Amino acid sequence: MISAYQEHGQSNKAIQLYFQMVDEEEVAPNNITFISVLGACGNIASLDDGKLVHKTLTENGFESDTIIARAVVHMYGKCGDVNSAYSLFAKIQKRNIITWNAIISIYAQNGHIHDAIVVLKQMQERKVKPNSLTFIAILDACGESVALDEGQWIHAFIVDADIELNSSLVSTLINMYGKCGLLENAWKMYESFSEKNEVLMTTFMAVLAKHGHADSVFHLLFIMHDRGLKPNHVTFINILTACNYDGLVKVAYQLFVSMYNEYEVMPFEDHYICLVDILGRAGLLDQAEHFINIMPIQTPWLSLLHLVGACRQHMDIERGHRMVIQLLEIDSVNSSHYVIMSNIYALANQDFLCKI
């Protein structure tokens, strides 16, 4: 049951059942139990519970199990306790590529890029050959932090170590260079890889879209169609983003309609949010509000937030007030909604007290 809860996204119930089993029913957990509950603790970043589980498994002699030790490392990493994660990693006697990749990913995902690189060098010293997964997490972190020097160092390391490039690793390099503002480098990476699949093309679309190159994004969509490659929901997010940057309202709407009719891609909430934002930025507030009213999302609070922002931009006080009322109906305890309301009236130079 603990494993089932953890695997189906009910981590709180998994943790609750674990402690009930150990404390009340005095049933001894096994290795599968520990792995599942550690995963649950990591999923919801419940560090205190994770520490208690770690203490119990140590007292019962499970810490020497490499798989369980790796699960504990993952748990501490997901909870943001990188020092405890590395401390336990250092105690593991039999470290394979999975174990090394785990600690490197933990450092990278928690923003410790330099520490990740230090571990990568340790890995090299121990004659452990890295693989593409070793670098993907670090490169993602470099992109998020706009750490270009570190990203280029990792790229050079990949080349020097003769690491085989696959579409996932090349896509990550394209993404890193794009987020660091080096569109030319991203283009070179894209051009250098012969197997241009959906993943690679979608990633490069995202880079082009964020740099305002809508025409190039549409050209890639045409190439995908011409080669029989099917765009997915992420592809259309990137296309709509390109439309947003260039203010292409009609094109965005046509593409939104074609998602399902032509490509059989069911729109997600993010697609609706993109279109609402496009309409709002263009000042088409009636259409944006109508679109929110007909979209099949039960609580479209993100779309409402985008429309409120557009109301502020275009000084539509009445509509902005109406949208904030809807936000408060969704979440009445969120104080930021009241702040947004006050800001709308402040921009209009109206001395107003929100009577809600």
CA 158 to chain centre: 24
Cβ within 8 Å of residue 268, ≥6 positions away: 233
Q: What is the pLDDT of residues 332-352, one digit of tens each?
A: 777 787 788 777 777 666 544
Query: Which CATH number covers residue 51?
Result: 1.25.40
Which residue matches tokens 């997964």? 133
Domain boundary among 180, 206, 227: 180
Q: How distant, in Å, are the alpha carbons of 3, 20, 36, 112, 149 from that of 12?
A: 12, 12, 12, 28, 41
Do 208 and 172 reside in the same domain of the chain? no
Whether 17 is in a domain gets the answer yes
Do 262 and 298 reside in the same domain of the chain? no
The CA angle 115-119-123, to the nearest 5 degrees, is 165
Whether 186 is in a domain gets the answer no
Taking the C-alpha atoms of residue 168 and residue 133, their distance in angstroms, rounded to an integer, is: 9
What is the 8-class DSSP label of residue 93? S
Do 277 and 352 reside in the same domain of the chain? yes
Whether 149 is in a domain gets the answer yes
Average pLDDT score over residue span 159-179: 94
Domain containing 117 equals 97-180
Q: What is the pLDDT of residues 42-88, one digit of tens each?
A: 999 999 999 999 999 999 999 888 899 999 999 999 999 999 999 99
Whether 187 is in a domain gets the answer no
Average pLDDT score over residue span 125-130: 92
Whether 300 is in a domain gets the answer yes
Structurally, the chain folds into a number of domains equal to 4
Whether 25 is in a domain gets the answer yes
Do 117 and 167 reside in the same domain of the chain? yes
Whether 7 is in a domain gets the answer yes
Domain boundary among 33, 66, 94: 94
Do 39 and 109 reside in the same domain of the chain? no
Do 6 and 83 reside in the same domain of the chain? yes
Whether 185 is in a domain gets the answer no
Do 176 and 203 reside in the same domain of the chain? no
Do 2 and 86 reside in the same domain of the chain? yes
Do 293 and 213 reside in the same domain of the chain? no
* pLDDT score recorded for residue 89: 94
Q: How distant, in Å, are the alpha carbons of 39, 50, 72, 193 from that of 19?
A: 15, 11, 17, 51
Domain boundary among 43, 75, 94: 94
Taking the C-alpha atoms of residue 208 and residue 183, their distance in angstroms, rounded to an integer, is: 8
